[in-house]
Structure 1
Amino acid sequence: MSFRPVKPLALRTGVRWKIAVAIAAVGALIAVTLSVVVHNAARISMLDNAREVQMERLLFAQRMYETSKPKEPRFGTKINDPALPAQLDQLMRDRRRGTFVQEHRNGGPPDVWAAVPLANGDVLSLHIPFADRSTAIMNDLDRALVIGSVSVVFGGCALGVLIGGQLSRRLRKAAAAAGRVAQGNTDVRVRDAIGGVVRDETDELARAVDALTDALNERIEAERRVTADIAHELRTPVTGLLTAAELLPPGRPTELVRDRAQAMRTLVEDVLEVARLDSASERAELQEIALGEFVERRVRALDPDVVVRVVHDSWVNTDPRRLERILGNLLANAAKHGKPPVEVTVEGRVVRVRDHGPGFPEALLKEGPSRFRTGTSDRAGQGHGLGLTIAAGQARVLGARLTFRNVASAAAPGGVGGAIAVLWLPDHAPTNTGSFPMLRLSN
């Protein structure tokens, strides 16, 4: 038993939220750090002030104790208080006065102690809880720090959304422009698409994509010109070869020569057509036709064995010659690589061509038609892979969309019950000027 590796779970988030979370996290860290520092500094300052005040009170009480008769501790002071903290008790043994802040485990306000040694060896001490007013001040300070920290976090998050949103919009515009370039619209400039006044790394990326597009376009155009020139130069000798083959005496060798010469001529013509389509110089010549009737008539002329079914007829403005070329190539591909019966269905502006063969190869389904690629071994045959390439190119000239998919079938070998090519015609095809026709709106 084989086990398929489990793909790790990928969490997809936008740049906007990543920047917002990062700024909010940094703001929260800074706010918490500053809050802790300010809280501790304020508490230490207030406690130090309380200790100084406590010592002044104790010294005043000491003078009153030493000058009064009889000697009695006053103002809340005590002689040899048994609750005296050990730290102060050690200072008293060293005959040194001092203060001490005694914290309570229950979290209540601390006690502020002050103690002085007397001449007779006794210890005069005073302790009172940390002032309620000071505790209220600390609570107010803590509340202000919490509010400030929360405000910083939300403000940082809003700032991150604002900054990240602008960057995200620029990246989305760049991606959309790059997508249009990938679809063949080489006039699109990514740098112009993103716009903006501020210059950042996004502009550098856009310039790099534009430079890459220009380089690829130059290379593709050079290859197209070379291909077209070679095909054009081969056109004359191939025509001469075909003419000479017609003069050969009848026989099997003559048929083979004529067949190969005709195949070479077809290849040259297909290569020239692909070169013209790649140059984007082709324009549609529009005519209004009844799509169902047109398809049925042309398919019958191309292959009488094909089953034609018109579900819903529709009038369309399109180029009949190019539409017939697309149909012919799709039917030829189905005849070469598929199995009968071949079915053509017309429904509105949609034309479907289906066979019952092994289906389209995975590479074609993922990447689309590619010249000189005839498919995998289960769909291999004669040809050079130009038929579907030309069909897709002619569809682009018509402003149509040509898609490919396989029919799932549990009963068929490999689970594929045939291939379907779907031609989606638009409401109006581009005219011979490269634009779409103007429509008159009726009241």
Structure 2
Amino acid sequence: MTWRLWPRGLRPRLLVAFVLVTLLGAAAAAWSSAGSASTALVTVTQEGLTDTLSDQISAITPQLTYPPDQAALDRLRAAVGPDTAVTYRDLRSAKGAATGLVTDALRAAVRTGNRLVVQRITADDRPWLLIGTPVTITALNGERTPSGIEVYAVRDLTGVQRQIDDLTRSAVGTAALALPLAVLLAVLAAGSVLRPVRRLRDTARRLAAGDLDARSPPRGADELADLTVTINQMAESVQSSMATQERLRADARRFAADASHELRTPLSTLTAVVEVLGTMTDGMEADARESADLAITEIHRMVRLVEDLLEVSRFDAGTVRLVAEEVDLAAAVWNCLRARGWTEQVDLVVQQEIWLRLDRRRLDVIVANLVGNALRHGDPPVRVHVSADRDQVWIVVTDHGPGLAETALPQVFDRFYKHDAARTRTPGSGLGLAIALENARLHGGDLTAGNAPGAGARFVLRLPRTLEDG
């Protein structure tokens, strides 16, 4: 619970920590000063009272008779003052209710030690000083012998306690006076520390937003300046790396586009040749016919690859534009299946009549890629489910094959990605799903992949009901 009350921001934490340290320091200093002063005051008061008592006893002692009688004890008690008790064997002279505070421990210490003893106690919520001392007889030769007389005086220390309380209140007041100064110093210190931190934060945000030219000028020679230099060096390295990667990507895109354009014309010629060749295979020998069929297949595969590369290069160049029109979605999907001879292999389920503004050709590309992928790599039945609500339209393609491996899901839309290395010679180029995803996003929608419960792979095309022409 305590940690929840601790502020989370760096600035509030610095302020609170600085103020607490300052207040604790001021309080400790004030309290120490008050404690020292209080101890000194009590010591001085105690010494004054004991000296006064000793002087009073010394002044009256020569006038006493030994062994003393009751009258002698009364004179000694009167000379010492109120709240005093004087004892000699069975004789006792006392005046003042406070004399009842004298403890047995004090009496035992006086008798056994034969010396002056003091004791501080608290009674009735008031502090008292108990003083006990034996009276000695000094002979003419200076020899001192115990007389058997004991004097006990009780002195009220309430006045001293009041002065100690005043010192304590003064210490608290001093610590309280340090609060505004501590807050001011904390604000100034936090500002000087956090200002460069805020500059670094702003620079980091600009870098994260893609502004690779963002830098923070280092100031001073402290750790924050070293951190600023390090961040600037990191930004330089990232900018250089990004520039290099972008140059390489641009070179790769340009190469793919140029190669595709250069290959398009000879491939068109080859296509015409293989079409003629295809009409002549019936009269060929088996080996020659097999070779011709393989050549025809590979030529068609290469043509599709070149067309896909050209389409990808157009996406990379940002030259792709939608040709939007109002389309009956169910009819468009059915025409896509019928044109490829898939109507007998695919179940089309449409919940309602859906008219949507989109690019008919690009929708055909998306559906053909998804269904073709399901037919090649999944098991029947393959189902296409079309549904919609007020804002979104969904086309879901599901097969009943083994599904997508968990390791394949993050990469299934990557260009040239084929999860099964044994399928590198399949008719697909490895670009179909990547092109489908680009076309979905071009419409303002999205394309996701996963596995359907109790079935195989499941691809979901989501399109908005309202298309923004771009």
**TM-score of the alignment, normalized to the shorter chain, above 0.5:** yes
C-alpha separation between the residues in 1 aligned to 2:409 and 2:423? 13
Which is worse superposed, 72-81 or 264-273? 72-81
Given the superposition, is the C-alpha separation of residues 20 and 50 from structure 1 closer, same or farther in structure 2, using an over 3 Å criterion? same
C-alpha separation between the residues in 2 aligned to 1:332 and 1:257? 22
Matched with 1:439 is none
Q: Answer yes or no: is 1:300 the counterpart of 2:322.
A: no
Matched with 1:402 is 447
Q: Answer yes or no: is 1:49 the counterpart of 2:60.
A: no
Kept in 1, the 8 Å contact 2:27–2:172? The answer is no
Kept in 2, the 8 Å contact 1:283–1:430? The answer is no
Kept in 2, the 8 Å contact 1:61–1:74? The answer is no
Matched with 2:376 is 336
Q: CA deviation at 1:47?
A: 2.0
Matched with 2:222 is none
C-alpha separation between the residues in 2 aligned to 1:57 and 1:118? 17
Matched with 2:211 is 189
Matched with 2:284 is none
C-alpha separation between the residues in 2 aligned to 1:85 and 1:281? 111
C-alpha separation between the residues in 2 aligned to 1:176 and 1:424? 33
Matched with 2:162 is 133
C-alpha separation between the residues in 2 aligned to 1:227 and 1:328? 24
Matched with 1:234 is 263
Q: Deviations over 1:15-63 (max 9, x none)?
A: 9837479645676566556544543432222221232233334444544
Which is worse superposed, 206-215 or 361-370? 206-215
SS in 1 for 2:385: strand
C-alpha separation between the residues in 2 aligned to 1:116 and 1:212? 93
Show the 5 A alignment for 1:224-303: 224-248=253-277, 249-250=280-281, 251-302=289-340, 303=342
Alignment-mate amino acid for residue 211 of structure 2: R
Matched with 1:324 is 364
Q: Deviations over 1:287-321 (max 9, x none)?
A: 22232332233333332122111113333222111
Which is worse superposed, 334-343 or 363-372? 363-372
Q: Larger relative CO (CA 8 A, sep 6+): 1 or 2?
A: 1
Given the superposition, is the C-alpha separation of residues 90 and 337 from structure 1 closer, same or farther in structure 2, using an over 3 Å criterion? farther
C-alpha separation between the residues in 2 aligned to 1:270 and 1:375? 19
Kept in 2, the 8 Å contact 1:358–1:418? The answer is yes
Q: Any gaps of 5 or more consecutive residues in structure 1?
A: 1-12, 182-187, 193-198, 410-416, 433-443
C-alpha separation between the residues in 1 aligned to 2:315 and 2:246? 14
Q: Answer yes or no: is 1:347 the counterpart of 2:369.
A: no
Identity of aligned residues (%): 25
Q: CA deviation at 1:421?
A: 0.9
Given the superposition, is the C-alpha separation of residues 297 and 265 from structure 1 closer, same or farther in structure 2, using an over 3 Å criterion? closer
Q: CA deviation at 1:277?
A: 1.6
C-alpha separation between the residues in 2 aligned to 1:54 and 1:36? 26
Alignment-mate amino acid for residue 330 of structure 1: L
Structure (1 or 2) with the larger CA radius of gyration: 2
- TM (norm. structure 1) is 0.66
Q: CA deviation at 1:336?
A: 1.1
Given the superposition, is the C-alpha separation of residues 109 and 126 from structure 1 closer, same or farther in structure 2, using an over 3 Å criterion? closer
SS in 1 for 2:313: helix
Given the superposition, is the C-alpha separation of residues 215 and 28 from structure 1 closer, same or farther in structure 2, using an over 3 Å criterion? farther
Matched with 1:393 is 438
Given the superposition, is the C-alpha separation of residues 56 and 408 from structure 1 closer, same or farther in structure 2, using an over 3 Å criterion? same
- TM (norm. structure 2) is 0.63
**Partner of residue 223 from structure 1, selected from 252, 259, 262:** 252
Which is worse superposed, 118-127 or 319-328? 118-127
SS in 1 for 2:162: helix
C-alpha separation between the residues in 1 aligned to 2:113 and 2:247? 91
The number of equivalent residue pairs is 389
C-alpha separation between the residues in 1 aligned to 2:237 and 2:110? 75
Q: Deviations over 1:308-338 (max 9, x none)?
A: 1111333322211111111111111111111
C-alpha separation between the residues in 1 aligned to 2:420 and 2:270? 32
Relative to its length, the structure with more strand (as a share) is 2
SS in 2 for 1:363: coil
Kept in 2, the 8 Å contact 1:58–1:115? The answer is no
Q: CA deviation at 1:219?
A: 3.2
Q: CA deviation at 1:347?
A: 1.0
Alignment-mate amino acid for residue 40 of structure 2: D
Q: Deviations over 1:101-149 (max 9, x none)?
A: 9699x9x987668899998568998765574435645775797799999
C-alpha separation between the residues in 2 aligned to 1:100 and 1:297? 114
Kept in 2, the 8 Å contact 1:371–1:384? The answer is no
Kept in 1, the 8 Å contact 2:380–2:401? The answer is yes
C-alpha separation between the residues in 2 aligned to 1:101 and 1:318? 102
Given the superposition, is the C-alpha separation of residues 44 and 78 from structure 1 closer, same or farther in structure 2, using an over 3 Å criterion? farther
Q: CA deviation at 1:374?
A: 1.3
C-alpha separation between the residues in 1 aligned to 2:412 and 2:205? 21
Matched with 2:218 is none
